Amino acid sequence: MIKLRALAENTKEFSEKHPSLIYKSLGKTGLTVSACGFGAYRTDYRVREHFEALEYAISQGINLIDTSANYSDGGSEILIGNVLEEMISAGSLKREEIVIVSKGGYIQGKNLEAAKKMKEDGVGYTAVTEYAENIWHCIHPDFLKDQITLSLERLKLETIDIYLLHNPEYFLDSPLSKDLEPDELRHEYHIRIKRAFEYLETEVTAGRISYYGISSNSFVKSSDDPVFTSLKSCVDAANEISEENSFYVVELPLNLLEKGAIVNKNQVGDSFNVLEYAYESELGVLVNRPLNALGESGLTRLADFPVDKEFTTLDEAQIIAEINLLDLMEEDFIKDHLESIQLSDENRKAVQAFLKAGEILKENWKGFGSMENFNDVKKQFLIPRVNYAFTTLVASPGVTEEVKDKLDKIARQTNKLMGILDSLYGLLANTKSADLHLRLNKAVDAAEADSFKELSLSQKAILFINSLKEVSCTLVGMRQKRYVDDVIGALSAAALVDALEKFKEI
């Protein structure tokens, strides 16, 4: 177990080692944090690239890491624990320099399996929100106690610096909420949050967490929205427990296209927006989704995409020819080799179903619509299925060199097609974002313009948020070293003057 916790003096010393980067105070915690934090969503200890990216980020000056118990079903926390253990053991990092944020509330994956078994046995958790078949939610003390214990074990920590209730507003949109009148629902919501805070105060006293708070997507909504979470009500709940409470940090979404945190006056009789109220309350504010904007048309990625110029010169006939080649290679492999390879019936059926990237692309390559949609299909469907087929085949007894050679050629052709479509949809996205680049460039002052124009779209989007005095830290996904470098570029840029007004104008 890694002893100690983040301390004000040590986090300040860490920041002084990286004088070219922006650091901020995390509200009244007294901790100094990099203006960008490592967002650990979709990171996993089983992916070496994620380990190297996190290690690299810390070495470059990132000293806040944000995760949750449900990220990669606990795999994200394990990753963080492994990296911290190695760096601290090597003497390249002190535990007191790094701020670890984790969250609890979701019941998914292994948690959900265990919770369902407990319910069947008559010993289930209290006050569970059974939101849907594959997702439950709970912030009752009994559940939080278990979650903090499991998170500490995975993180290998003695203390989690910041522990957040993760999207408690699920209760407001659950099947149970339909049976309650609006006033009853709000009253019950307040009771549940206050009860969770009372318990988290005991965890602070016990030393298992240092501070607590809430991560909520609904902090930024209009006050009349059915799932709106009032930050003032949360502050009031903590103050009802004790004026010396440890409710110190909140997390919420904000980006160039989703500006609810700025434009929605939803606190204290709709007199303040959530950022203003958090700042006046001296709360640390973590911003999530700075580059992933959700709108009526779906997800917009606020980033420039790498494009291979060679692939963008291909005409439609050439792209179709490349897809047909992969389809033929996969079809011939299945026909010529699948029966001769030693596989279980289940694995043979899976390989036959999954080794179909060419067939799928033949039917759909023009219909993904956007880079974001193509990336979703590629990462969540195409690549996992192909990888499963390849792993199963290569691990089978008696696989010949001829079979391995054919699989290698299929893999190369698959990668080539992914590169072609990445470039095709990336070019489309970059063309669309050119207008946003132009508007951002026009928004900054003349004195800032030259250096600002040189930044990537993601760096510009991050810098706008980092320049807000109310925001303590912007959480950015950095699963690859190149993403870390992009973030460090944003952290090295000078804060924008009058950022709030410029933000509103965009």
The mean pLDDT of the chain is 95
pLDDT band at 153 (very low <50, low <70, confident <90, very high): very high
In a domain, 463, yes or no: no
In a domain, 501, yes or no: no
pLDDT in tens, 177-199: 888 898 999 999 999 999 999 99
34 Cβ neighbours under 8 A, 6+ residues apart: 15, 18, 21, 22, 23, 61, 62, 63, 64, 473, 491
Q: Which of 355, 437, 435 is nearest to 392 (CA)?
A: 355
User: Which residues share a beta bridge with 474?
Assistant: 36, 287
pLDDT in tens, 42-54: 999 999 999 999 9
Q: What are the angstrom distances between the C-alpha of 169 and each of 51, 72, 265, 286?
A: 32, 22, 19, 18
CB 464 within 8 A of CB 499: yes
Summarize the confidence of residues 429-439 as an average pLDDT: 93
What's the CATH number where 254 sits? 3.20.20.100
Burial of 316 (0-12, 13-18, 19+ CB in 10 A): exposed
pLDDT band at 58 (very low <50, low <70, confident <90, very high): very high
pLDDT in tens, 357-376: 999 999 999 999 899 899 88
Collapse the DSSP code of 328 into the 3-class scheme (helix H, G, I; strand E, B; otherwise coil) and give the result. helix
In a domain, 451, yes or no: no
* Domain-terminating residue out of 372, 403, 429: 429
pLDDT band at 398 (very low <50, low <70, confident <90, very high): confident
Range of the domain at 322: 309-429
Q: Indicate if 205 and 345 belong to the same structural domain.
A: no
pLDDT band at 175 (very low <50, low <70, confident <90, very high): confident
pLDDT of residue 297 exceeding 80: no
pLDDT in tens, 444-492: 998 898 999 999 999 999 999 999 999 999 999 999 999 999 999 999 9
Helix then strand then coil, % of the chain, to nearest 5: 55, 15, 30
d(CA 453, CA 460): 9
d(CA 299, CA 374): 11
Q: Indicate if 380 and 289 belong to the same structural domain.
A: no
What is the 3-state secondary structure of 75-95? HHHHHHHHHHHHHHHHCCCCH
pLDDT in tens, 2-55: 999 999 999 999 999 999 999 999 999 999 999 999 999 999 999 999 999 999
pLDDT of residue 179: 84
d(CA 45, CA 77): 8
In a domain, 330, yes or no: yes
185: part of which helix (H) or strand (E)? Answer: helix 182-206
d(CA 165, CA 143): 11
Give φ, ψ of 41 to 5 degrees.
-60, 135
pLDDT band at 323 (very low <50, low <70, confident <90, very high): very high
pLDDT of residue 372: 87
d(CA 34, CA 25): 9
Give φ, ψ of 314 to 5 degrees.
-70, 140
| Domains: count for the chain | 2
In a domain, 498, yes or no: no
d(CA 320, CA 455): 36
391 Cβ neighbours under 8 A, 6+ residues apart: none
Q: Indicate if 409 and 345 belong to the same structural domain.
A: yes
CB 134 within 8 A of CB 108: yes
* Domain-terminating residue out of 376, 409, 429: 429
DSSP notation for 455-469: S-HHHHHHHHHHT-T
Q: Indicate if 283 and 350 belong to the same structural domain.
A: no
Contacts 24+ apart (CB under 8 A), 375-379: 375/301, 376/299, 378/418, 378/421
CB 357 within 8 A of CB 374: no
In a domain, 116, yes or no: yes
The pLDDT > 90 percentage for the chain reads: 91
Q: Indicate if 348 and 210 belong to the same structural domain.
A: no
pLDDT in tens, 221-251: 999 999 999 999 999 999 999 999 999 999 9
Q: Indicate if 101 and 237 belong to the same structural domain.
A: yes
The pLDDT > 70 percentage for the chain reads: 100
Q: What are the angstrom distances between the C-alpha of 383 and each of 41, 102, 186, 380?
A: 19, 29, 44, 7
d(CA 343, CA 392): 8
d(CA 247, CA 252): 15
Q: Indicate if 286 and 329 belong to the same structural domain.
A: no
pLDDT of residue 361: 95
d(CA 247, CA 294): 28
Q: Indicate if 278 and 379 belong to the same structural domain.
A: no
Residue with token string 């909520």: 216
d(CA 298, CA 294): 6
Report the b/e string of 448-457 with b at 16+ CB within 10 A. Answer: beeebeebeb
272 Cβ neighbours under 8 A, 6+ residues apart: 265, 266, 280
In a domain, 441, yes or no: no
Q: Indicate if 206 and 81 belong to the same structural domain.
A: yes
* Domain-terminating residue out of 380, 401, 429: 429
Summarize the confidence of residues 203-225 as an average pLDDT: 98
pLDDT of residue 296 exceeding 80: no
d(CA 212, CA 218): 18
Q: Indicate if 361 and 286 belong to the same structural domain.
A: no
d(CA 44, CA 30): 30
In a domain, 391, yes or no: yes
CB 424 within 8 A of CB 311: yes
Residues in the chain: 506
Residue with token string 């990171």: 43
DSSP notation for 349-377: HHHHHHS-HHHHHHHHTT---SHHHHHHH
Q: Indicate if 294 and 341 belong to the same structural domain.
A: no
Give φ, ψ of 399 to 5 degrees.
-70, 125
pLDDT of residue 298 exceeding 90: no
pLDDT of residue 176: 81
Q: Indicate if 386 and 357 belong to the same structural domain.
A: yes
